[in-house]
Amino acid sequence: MKIDSKVILLVEDNPSDIGLTQRALAKAHIANEMIVAEDGEEALDYLWGTGVHAGRDVSDLPAVVLLDLKLPGISGLEALRQIRGDARTRRVPVVILTTSKEERDVATGYDLCVNSYVRKPVDFNQFAAAVEQLGLYWLMLNERPPVVRGSLE
């Protein structure tokens, strides 16, 4: 089932977790396009139409960003800080999807206005169920925020 043209932006550097997420979405019959950014910088490039994503229509924002925290270069929390600091992307739903059990990471994520913080289950079936619920909620039930033009000065 493809829900409109809503894109999922997965920010994940672990090839195994990328594959697990793809399989979990397929198992849930969620056929929406999934863009993979392997670090925080690439995620920001995608959202803002810069770098390797220069020229991309930035008004076509993802329905949800699934964000890992432990990334090379720009960390997940720093990427979240920048996403929330720019008027164009501050309303994009962001779900931290990580193995981190650090209370500090949870607190910082919520301080930066993450929409949800989900710990990745180790078991594939539990992971698939979690991804299915995330997909159904963010792609079907959640009302997308309006697009904001321009950036903060």
**Model confidence pTM above 0.95:** no
Give the three-state DSSP class for 91: coil
Q: What torsion do the CA atoms of 32, 81, 96, 40 make, to the nearest 10 degrees?
A: 60
Domain assignment present for residue 61? The answer is: yes
Domain assignment present for residue 146? The answer is: no
Domain assignment present for residue 21? The answer is: yes
What residue type is 129 in one-letter code? Answer: A
Domain assignment present for residue 80? The answer is: yes
Among 18-27, 46-55, 94-103, top mean pLDDT goes to 46-55
Among 28-32, 61-65, 135-139, top mean pLDDT goes to 61-65
Give CA–CA dist 111/115, Å, rounded.
Answer: 11
Domain assignment present for residue 38? The answer is: yes
| Segments forming the whole domain that contains residue 58 | 8-141
Domain count of the fold of the chain: 1
Q: What's the pLDDT band for 47 if we cut at 50, 70, 90?
A: very high
Look at residues 140, 153, 145, 152 and name the one whose alpha carbon lies nearest to residue 59.
145
pLDDT at residue 5, as a whole number: 66
What's 99's domain CATH number?
Answer: 3.40.50.2300
